[in-house]
Chains A and B, each alone.
Chain A
Amino acid sequence: MKYFDLAEKIFESGKDKFEDMEIYIEKTKTIEMSVFNGELDKYNISDTQGMSFRGIHNDKMGYSYTEKVDESSIDMLVNEAYENGKYIDALEKETIFSGSDKYEEMDNFNKELKSTPLEDKIEFVKSLEKEALSLDSRIVAVSYCMYNEVENSKYLINTKGLNLEDNTNLAYAYLVVVARDGEDTKTGISYVISRDFKDFDYRKMAKEAVDEALSLLGAKPIKSNEYPVVFRNDAFASILGAFSSIFHAENVQKGLSLLKDKIGEEIANKNFTLVDNPFSSEGFNSSTFDDEGTATKYKKIIDKGTLNTYLYNWKSATKDGVESTGNGFRNSYKSSVSTSATNLYVEKGDKSLDEILETVDSGVYITDLQGLHSGLNPVSGDYSLSAHGYEIENGKIKRPINQITIAGNFFETLMDIEEIGNDLRFSTNGVGSPAIKVKKLAVSGE
């Protein structure tokens, strides 16, 4: 297996300093292209790799990394990790894992995507821009029109005998159109994320973005008040993603999540089930093992409103005296092992979006939220986010609204969920949700 010889040499070099050692390697190939005015204005390719090294000495884990993945890095990796480990205040015993009994089989690499000729992909992204500009005279520009493809391999080799490899690929396209009517400018967005090139339908994508931009023209704020709020599927997914760290055991243990001591308690409305499913065919964070080599598993984090489990890696699991849930992931080879959901989604209900809108006499339909990196506080659950969408009157969409903020508390929002749609979709942040209706939220506008 690739990198095995290098691993052996590193382990040999570090054997006097560490009791156990592990290397984690990511190898990534990307193609990114975008089009502006009919021309390929961006064409980027890359082929990179990075390696993390970690080792345990006296129960303390030291980390180091390099992007020069060859023998010249061995001394630096071993010495830096040893130095870094020295200063760790180990409160919990750290472990390097010897492997699970069984791993699911799953193929997350689509060979057809890789073998589809580059010309077809360029043709797709050019057609996408052309189609978007042709649909309506009020579409004055396409500000982003891109197609990206990524191939990722990860390798995990350790001195406990673990030797795992995983290969995935994925493509995504993203379109932003600008509509103008007099002084009024609005943008519309559409995206597709898939490993099946057949899903990249330029006509459908162009229409979706153009329809959104046009429908927002003439938007004005709504009068400040409390309203019932219906979130479009991807809008709720973006909020859920921003708050997902509250389910991580490490945050609970550090006093950074209000879900402490809430296992078995009702924390959401009874209609709400939140799933972490590493084997979902629709999600794009599917994986049969996590970055510590633990087999991943399907779990309901919230089951019909009741908090069922936190998400654990080995460090947080050891602290709570339980087993890892297979959620020990890293941001990259430059980070230590932390916690992450795989494919996190809200289980779908049975109403269509239109049926949900029909339950609202006077309210707001939110299609986009801004300021997710700043306007919410995962610790308190408070959020106050800039938004746009539509006013709902007598169960129907009446007019576009913008320049509003919606404010609430995520923990209260979970209890206030009244309706769940049947239109589950995974958003660009990897989190899936159907449309969600919340009893009421503070909306400020004019």
Chain B
Amino acid sequence: MLSKKTIENVLYAALSQGGDFAEVFVEDRFSTNIKMVGGYVENSISGRDFGVGIRIFDGFNAVYGYTNDASEENLIKVAKEIALALKSEKTDIILNLMKSDTRNLNPIKIIPNTVDKAKKVELLKRGYNSAKNYDPLITQVTSNYFDEEQNVLIANSEGLIAGDKRVRTRIFVQSVASKDGEMQVGYYAPGASMGFEFYDTIDVEEVGKEASRIAKTMVLAEHCPSGVMPVVIHNEFGGVLFHEACGHSLEATSVAKGTSVFSNKLGQPIASPLVTAIDDGTMPNEWGTLNIDDEGTPTQRNVLIENGILKSYLIDKLNGRRMGMESTGSGRRQSYKFAPTSRMNNTFIANGESTFEEIIKSTESGLFAKKLGGGSVNPATGDFNFAVMEGYLIENGKITKPVRGATLIGTGAKVLENIDMVGNNQTCGQGMCGSLSGSIPTNVGQPTIRVKALTVGGRKGEK
């Protein structure tokens, strides 16, 4: 991608005006996107992203510049231009870039770009057919095929030079069910850090059916009642609750500034003793797995909360300096267009001891949130909100009627304390997480959990 000599010259230029750390990030990515609407291929787009990001630290300050003109002359110009903003004393450095060997956590069998587009379209057709034929109430189906191969090269003035190839594949099916002039949507979107062999591990027909099952259930559902009630949140994508409500507040981005509700709480109880939560960037072929993060640090398994006690934050290099702590391999970015910062990889609540049946049975009255949609959080206050894509009432220890339009709101700190049952059926779901350093693939996950009291917003009025 860039010669070692060029990288060295750019790093020297970056530190020529002062500063104590410089980094070069080179990215070359090829992506394919195919979109099918109503069984017809509406769009097929492919292309190449290419660019270089240069970052310089001076103590706790950082400057960043990026460009897609990768000529040595231009890169040196960019490096010098951003260095001007630092205005510190120049220190002499000697560079010795050592290529580091990286392990391969994501073995790839079939590079997607070697697969004929006809096969990719075929997958979409199968997903569409099973979704459309699921039920006469299904009136529209949209599906997307996505793959990418991202090659990165990262070098820094500490002597690191490392590369990584990230191959990702994902399929998305969204079904619309209509009845009496009302429409409801269901979707399902599995993905992995795998090549085209991913489709030997999942059944696209099942993906289509799942999307339609949700849409149909919801179009037949009543409006959700509102009020404070026990909420049972199911496994897989239910983990987005922990991701939004707690995970973001554990990122060094907000912890280092002291603006997170979990700042200065290491070693203290922040959750119910039933809760152990982990961010693991090393799970083979998972959607959020990387061999090295976008600062070149190998990813690791970080236990964030153990039996309710806060054990670790998610830390990148710059915030690590500010906090006097080491990187946890959590420095990530969408592309060279973003300076990296602390982010999640595969984040989940670990298994507890209750069975799913026990959790439902012991809930007198409440909401079963089987599938959550997306959500967001204000890291300073911890206030979160989630849409429930598929919900049901729990009455007398049984799941009864489906309900739609529910929203869960609360604060991360409170919900962590209020988790009073944790199941033993942990699984992960795939999402795209948007934050300061852009949109990145992350896994969320958990077993079925129960929150003893949570505010549910719905249109039906008080339960």
Which residue in chain A gives the minimum CB-CB distance to B382? Answer: A185
User: When chains A and B are docked, how far (Å) is the Cα of A405 from the Cα of B66?
Assistant: 41
Kindly state whether residue B435 has any CB partner on chain A within 8 Å.
no
Which of A36, A87, A386 interacts with B44 by CB under 8 Å? A87
Kindly state whether residue A46 has any CB partner on chain B within 8 Å.
yes
User: When chains A and B are docked, how far (Å) is the Cα of A130 from the Cα of B224?
Assistant: 46
Kindly state whether residue B415 has any CB partner on chain A within 8 Å.
no
Kindly state whether residue B300 has any CB partner on chain A within 8 Å.
no
CB atoms of A407 and B458 under 8 A apart: yes
Which residue in chain A gives the minimum CB-CB distance to B55? Answer: A44
CB atoms of B381 and A46 under 8 A apart: no
Kindly state whether residue A280 has any CB partner on chain B within 8 Å.
no
The stretch among A163-171, A196-204, A319-327, A370-378 that forms the contact with chain B is A370-378
Which residues on A sit within 8 Å (CB–CB) of B381? Answer: 185-187
CB atoms of B48 and A65 under 8 A apart: yes
Kindly state whether residue A346 has any CB partner on chain B within 8 Å.
no
Given known contacts A49-B68, A386-B407, A386-B457, is B40 in contact with A371 (CB within 8 Å)? Answer: no
**Residues of B within 8 Å of A, CB-based: how many?**
81
Kindly state whether residue B94 has any CB partner on chain A within 8 Å.
no
Q: Which residues of chain B from 191 to 239 have a CB within 8 Å of any chain A CB?
A: 226-228
CB atoms of A84 and B40 under 8 A apart: no
Q: Mark B30-47, 1 if CB is under 8 A from A, else 0.
A: 000010011111111111
CB atoms of A87 and B257 under 8 A apart: no
CB atoms of B66 and A46 under 8 A apart: yes
Q: Mark B66-77, 1 if CB is under 8 A from A, else 0.
A: 111100000000
Which residue in chain B gives the minimum CB-CB distance to A64? Answer: B47
Q: Mark A368-395, 1 if CB is under 8 A from B, else 0.
A: 0011011111011010111000000000
Q: Which residues of chain B from 377 to 435 have a CB within 8 Å of any chain A CB?
A: 378-381, 383-387, 404-407, 409-411
CB atoms of A178 and B259 under 8 A apart: yes
The stretch among B156-164, B182-190, B276-284, B349-357 that forms the contact with chain A is B182-190
Q: How far is the CB of B51 from chain A (nearest CB, A)?
A: 6
User: When chains A and B are docked, how far (Å) is the Cα of A138 from the Cα of B81?
Assistant: 39
Kindly state whether residue B337 has any CB partner on chain A within 8 Å.
yes
CB atoms of B259 and A66 under 8 A apart: no
User: When chains A and B are docked, how far (Å) is the Cα of A23 from the Cα of B386?
Assistant: 41
Kindly state whether residue B368 has any CB partner on chain A within 8 Å.
no
User: When chains A and B are docked, how far (Å) is the Cα of A88 from the Cα of B36?
Assistant: 9
Q: How far is the CB of B70 from chain A (nearest CB, A)?
A: 8
CB atoms of A67 and B45 under 8 A apart: no
CB atoms of B81 and A408 under 8 A apart: no
Q: How far is the CB of A11 from chain B (nearest CB, A)?
A: 18
CB atoms of B385 and A385 under 8 A apart: yes
Which residue in chain B gives the minimum CB-CB distance to A80? Answer: B46
Kindly state whether residue B298 has any CB partner on chain A within 8 Å.
no
User: When chains A and B are docked, how far (Å) is the Cα of A255 from the Cα of B183?
Assistant: 10
CB atoms of A444 and B339 under 8 A apart: no
Kindly state whether residue B25 has any CB partner on chain A within 8 Å.
no
Which residue in chain B gives the minimum CB-CB distance to A83? Answer: B117
Which residue in chain B gives the minimum CB-CB distance to A73? Answer: B48
Which residue in chain A gives the minimum CB-CB distance to B82? Answer: A45
CB atoms of B64 and A384 under 8 A apart: no
Kindly state whether residue A224 has any CB partner on chain B within 8 Å.
yes
Given known contacts A143-B380, A384-B459, is B257 in contact with A36 (CB within 8 Å)? Answer: yes
Kindly state whether residue B136 has any CB partner on chain A within 8 Å.
no
Kindly state whether residue A86 has any CB partner on chain B within 8 Å.
yes
CB atoms of B42 and A370 under 8 A apart: no
Which of B61, B259, B376 interacts with A40 by CB under 8 Å? B61
Which residues on B sit within 8 Å (CB–CB) of A73? Answer: 48
Which residues on B sit within 8 Å (CB–CB) of A386? Answer: 383-385, 407, 409, 457
User: When chains A and B are docked, how far (Å) is the Cα of A256 from the Cα of B141?
Assistant: 10
Kindly state whether residue B105 has any CB partner on chain A within 8 Å.
no
User: When chains A and B are docked, how far (Å) is the Cα of A141 from the Cα of B254?
Assistant: 11
CB atoms of B140 and A143 under 8 A apart: no
CB atoms of A256 and B385 under 8 A apart: no
User: When chains A and B are docked, how far (Å) is the Cα of A442 from the Cα of B461?
Assistant: 7
Kindly state whether residue A42 has any CB partner on chain B within 8 Å.
yes
Which residues on A sit within 8 Å (CB–CB) of B118? Answer: 87
Which residues on A sit within 8 Å (CB–CB) of B69? Answer: 47
CB atoms of B41 and A88 under 8 A apart: yes
Which residue in chain B gives the minimum CB-CB distance to A39? Answer: B61
Which of A48, A185, A334 interacts with B67 by CB under 8 Å? A48
Kindly state whether residue A445 has any CB partner on chain B within 8 Å.
yes
* Among A46, A86, A225, A385, residue most surrounded by chain B Cβ atoms (within 10 Å): A46
Q: How far is the CB of A113 from chain B (nearest CB, A)?
A: 19
Which residues on A sit within 8 Å (CB–CB) of B62? Answer: 41-43
Given known contacts A46-B66, A87-B41, A255-B139, is B185 in contact with A377 (CB within 8 Å)? Answer: yes
User: When chains A and B are docked, how far (Å) is the Cα of A444 from the Cα of B50?
Assistant: 48
Kindly state whether residue A430 has any CB partner on chain B within 8 Å.
no
Q: How far is the CB of A292 from chain B (nearest CB, A)?
A: 15
CB atoms of A373 and B254 under 8 A apart: no
Kindly state whether residue B258 has any CB partner on chain A within 8 Å.
yes
User: When chains A and B are docked, how far (Å) is the Cα of A64 from the Cα of B33?
Assistant: 10
CB atoms of A176 and B374 under 8 A apart: no
Q: How far is the CB of A239 from chain B (nearest CB, A)?
A: 14
User: When chains A and B are docked, how far (Å) is the Cα of A331 from the Cα of B44?
Assistant: 15
CB atoms of B227 and A224 under 8 A apart: yes
CB atoms of A91 and B40 under 8 A apart: yes
* Among A39, A221, A375, A403, residue most surrounded by chain B Cβ atoms (within 10 Å): A375
* Among B49, B386, B459, residue most surrounded by chain A Cβ atoms (within 10 Å): B459
Q: Which residues of chain B from 108 to 162 have a CB within 8 Å of any chain A CB?
A: 117-118, 121, 139-140, 142
User: When chains A and B are docked, how far (Å) is the Cα of A386 from the Cα of B456?
Assistant: 10
Which residue in chain A gives the minimum CB-CB distance to B388? Answer: A384
CB atoms of B257 and A380 under 8 A apart: no
CB atoms of B409 and A380 under 8 A apart: no
Q: How far is the CB of B31 from chain A (nearest CB, A)?
A: 8
Kindly state whether residue B455 has any CB partner on chain A within 8 Å.
yes
Kindly state whether residue B89 has any CB partner on chain A within 8 Å.
no
User: When chains A and B are docked, how far (Å) is the Cα of A187 from the Cα of B257?
Assistant: 15
Which of A45, A68, A376 interacts with B81 by CB under 8 Å? A45
CB atoms of A334 and B47 under 8 A apart: yes
Kindly state whether residue A397 has any CB partner on chain B within 8 Å.
no
Which of B45, B63, B85, B373 interacts with A374 by CB under 8 Å? B373
CB atoms of A374 and B181 under 8 A apart: no
Kindly state whether residue A404 has any CB partner on chain B within 8 Å.
yes
User: When chains A and B are docked, how far (Å) is the Cα of A83 from the Cα of B438?
Assistant: 30
Kindly state whether residue B462 has any CB partner on chain A within 8 Å.
yes
Which residues on B sit within 8 Å (CB–CB) of A407? Answer: 226, 405, 407, 457-459
User: When chains A and B are docked, how far (Å) is the Cα of A39 from the Cα of B63?
Assistant: 12
User: When chains A and B are docked, how far (Å) is the Cα of A356 from the Cα of B301?
Assistant: 55
Q: How far is the CB of B225 from chain A (nearest CB, A)?
A: 9
Which residues on B sit within 8 Å (CB–CB) of A445? Answer: 455
Kindly state whether residue A446 has any CB partner on chain B within 8 Å.
yes
Given known contacts A46-B337, A66-B47, is B60 in contact with A371 (CB within 8 Å)? Answer: no
The 5 lowest CB-CB distance pairs between A and B, nearest first, are A405-B457, A374-B374, A386-B385, A444-B226, A65-B47
A sample of 10 cross-chain residue pairs with beta-carbon separation below 8 angstroms, ordered by A number, consists of A69-B68, A86-B117, A87-B44, A87-B117, A371-B385, A382-B459, A386-B457, A404-B457, A442-B226, A444-B457
List chain A positions with a Cβ less than 8 A from chain B. Answer: 36, 39-50, 52, 62-69, 73, 76-77, 80, 83-89, 91, 141, 143, 176, 178, 185-187, 221, 224-226, 254-256, 258, 334-336, 370-371, 373-377, 379-380, 382, 384-386, 402-408, 442, 444-446
Known: A335-B45, A377-B183. 17 other contacts (CB 8 A): A41-B62, A44-B65, A63-B43, A63-B45, A67-B50, A67-B51, A76-B48, A185-B380, A225-B461, A370-B376, A370-B383, A379-B184, A380-B182, A402-B383, A408-B459, A442-B460, A444-B226
